[in-house]
Structure 1
Amino acid sequence: MKATFKIYTLDFRRPSGTSRGVLTQKETWFLILEHEGHRGIGECGMFKGLSMDDVPEYEATLQWVCDSIEKGKTYLWNALRAFPSIQFGLEQAFLSLEAEDPYELFPSEFTNNEAPIPINGLIWMGDKGYMLEQIHQKLEAGFRCLKMKIGAIDFKSEIALLDAIRNEYGPKRIELRVDANGAFKPSEALKKLTELSVFKLHSIEQPIRQGNVGEMKSLCEKSPIPIALDEELIGVIDTVDKEALLENIRPQYIILKPTLVGGYKGSEEWIEIADRLKIDWWITSALESNIGLNAIAQWSYTLNNTMPQGLGTGGLYTNNFECPLQVKNGYIYSRNDTGWPPDLIERLCL
């Protein structure tokens, strides 16, 4: 078996704002396997500034994986505990290599275009006019669940924006999720959550920065809005530590990004614990290309979670890859009348 990797830079159609800054480009890495005339591909979408594996030796570790590929998926996955995005790319690449179609990792009604997945529409941070423009576009596109990034503009402006939305669209018309990306200070978080609660929000992701376990536990006990842990899960590797974290904080939800938490296997460890503790969850992509998004969406369908998932990021880039994924009326579909470029893996090998 031969393994190689290739770096690829994705260009945003429009600068996209988060509480960590404005994104114009996103680097990603593709792991490509070749064996007996077959090829498989997986995406290692390390997220700079957020992933635990954003370290100087990232590409050296990818090269070690390529040099050690004969050791097999199980050995390598266990050796890569500190590199969750490479774990995920490795899982994808082996499934892709073994599949009849290298892009159909989990054959199902979804991949046959018989059943779509409900998703939320993502509203990026910006000034009030830009955010309202996005909201109207998502509603015209048929979305009934919106996720808004907050924490980049001043809080009063965000309150005014939410007030304008709710004056026009009640909670029966639109389910609103907000994502603070840890933007609130622990000392002010409960007050802000109380102010936000009048807007009948579905949930708020990561109101304070990860690592403040005691403060987060207290917020989950007192908050008038259900809290979802996101960044809090990053870097928690051992299953014993995962269980201890959820038992301690007791959030209402957790959000699983396979790229950030160790791929399918790492995510499924979280799901098993959350189900046991009666904590709800949903799946979200982490700005991967369509190759990684496709791998997440196919797996997500097999989990039978009926909540809207966070899988609507495929249209963010000018140089993404053509693929069967299509977002329509608040759902993501895998069309069987549209395929992948026939030479895509070969081109990435060059």
Structure 2
Amino acid sequence: MQVEVDLFTVNKRFPLTISRGTTAQTTNVWVRILQDGLEGWGEASPFGVGNHSQSTDTIKNCLQQLVPVLDKFSPLQRQEIEQVFIKHQVPSGVRAALDIAMHDWLGKRVGLPLWQLWGLDRNVIVPTSVTIGINSPEVAKARVRDWLQHLDVRLLKVKLGSPDGIEADRKMLLAVKEEAPNLELFVDANGGWSLTDAIEMCNWLADLGIKYVEQPLLRGQEKSLAELKERSPLPIFVDESCFTSSDIPHLANYVDGINIKLMKSGGLTEAMRMVHTARACGLQVMFGCYSDSSLSNTAAAQLAPLADYLDLDSHLNLTDDPFTGALVKEGRVLPNDLPGLGVQYSASAT
């Protein structure tokens, strides 16, 4: 199969601030595989978690090195190609782009959307949350209003873990709740709390009716999750602490759910493994994203019928998404009926 690699830059309508910093623009990688007159598309977006970082240059350079290695394979040989990934210690973002592209190609080969090829029920997909980044209470309120004008919002995910401490978190959360009193709220601290603050905040948030708390502690502090789970009235989800299915059994006794992101997992193949592993361990499942365009989020939406929660909103905050794919209806990100991912290039993107 022939592999082509291109870069594209996307800009956020509203910069997103989390506990680790602010993102306004990213340069992502578009991968196309060509075989038998068909093209399969995939995407990799840069991300960083603690001391783990996958930059655009890292992803692009690795892909370019793999091009001649993959030339002898067909997109139908995913098991053999996975062994190549393992042998060459290929970063998860690179694996994700290629794995998504191979799945897209397969769907086009058989003429079916992936969700239908897997026998999934699109009707059970839950609404996606949209994200309110760390800001002053006034700016957070304005951001809520912006989302409500832009989209049929059903759920809000509020980023906490402010560098200014939990009092700043409280003020912002109350402002969001005041602006959207009828919307369900989730909280994501992105590892921005100490154990003491996490225990205090989980109890405070429970009194406000918050649904769950995501990644309250830093990646690397997983041993402290046992005490937090014991003392928290809220369900605990992990994101940065859980990359692949092999992480799940070690976390299962200390958390209630995991956040699966294609860039962390290495694509749809591993994401499916993570779903089944999580279910076997009695955990709930969420699908999330980084600074992904419609290409990656449409790929994740193919598996959305298997999720309890969705946080696939990054493409909805872009001013220049070069792709179109999943539709948004009643707050739900729904894959369409086109074969493969059902993603098309938007010539009007600037």
**Which TM bucket (shorter chain)?**
0.7 to 0.9
Shift of 1:342: 7.6
Larger deviation, residues 286-295 vs 82-91? 82-91
Shift of 1:143: 2.2
Provide, for residues 58-93 of structure 1, a one-character-per-residue CA deviation record: whole Å limited to 9, x for no partner. 433212321111244323323335521222211111
Alignment of 1:189-200 (within 5 A): 189-200=198-209
2:324 is paired with a residue whose SS is: coil
Q: Which amino acid aligns with 1:208?
A: L
Provide, for residues 298-342 of structure 1, a one-character-per-residue CA deviation record: whole Å limited to 9, x for no partner. 2323x2x3x341112212222212414343432224567997348
Alignment of 1:92-171 (within 5 A): 92-100=100-108, 105-108=113-116, 117-139=126-148, 141-152=151-162, 153-166=164-177
Shift in CA distance, 12/244, structure 1 to aligned 2, threshold 3 Å: same
Shift of 1:164: 4.1
Identity of matched residues, %: 19
The alignment yields a C-alpha RMSD, in angstroms, of: 3.3
Other-structure match for 2:21? 21
Other-structure match for 1:8? 8
Provide, for residues 152-195 of structure 1, a one-character-per-residue CA deviation record: whole Å limited to 9, x for no partner. 3542232123334445765xx32210000000023432123223
Contact 1:145 1:308 (8 Å CA) reproduced: no
Q: Which amino acid aligns with 2:92?
A: P
Residues of 2 paired with 1:107 and 1:279: CA distance? Answer: 22
Other-structure match for 2:37? 37
Other-structure match for 1:266? 270
Shift in CA distance, 160/126, structure 1 to aligned 2, threshold 3 Å: closer
Shift of 1:136: 3.2
1:232 is paired with a residue whose SS is: coil
Other-structure match for 1:214? 223
- Specify every segment of 5 or more residues in structure 2 that has no aligned partner in the other structure, as ranges: none
Shift of 1:147: 0.6
What TM-score, normalized to structure 2? 0.83
2:290 is paired with a residue whose SS is: coil
Contact 2:99 2:266 (8 Å CA) reproduced: no
Contact 1:111 1:334 (8 Å CA) reproduced: no
1:287 aligns with 2:296: no
1:272 is paired with a residue whose SS is: helix
Residues of 2 paired with 1:342 and 1:286: CA distance? Answer: 21
Shift of 1:131: 0.9
Larger deviation, residues 44-53 vs 310-319? 44-53
1:218 is paired with a residue whose SS is: helix
Other-structure match for 1:66? 67
Shift of 1:57: 4.8
Shift of 1:27: 2.0
Match of 1:180 among 181, 184, 189: 189
- Specify every segment of 5 or more residues in structure 1 that has no aligned partner in the other structure, as ranges: none
Shift of 1:149: 0.8
2:32 is paired with a residue whose SS is: strand
Contact 1:183 1:208 (8 Å CA) reproduced: yes
Shift of 1:53: 5.7
What TM-score, normalized to structure 1? 0.83
Residues of 1 paired with 2:179 and 2:263: CA distance? Answer: 36
Provide, for residues 124-166 of structure 1, a one-character-per-residue CA deviation record: whole Å limited to 9, x for no partner. 2211112112223444543232111112354223212333444
Shift in CA distance, 60/174, structure 1 to aligned 2, threshold 3 Å: same
2:289 is paired with a residue whose SS is: coil
Contact 2:137 2:175 (8 Å CA) reproduced: no
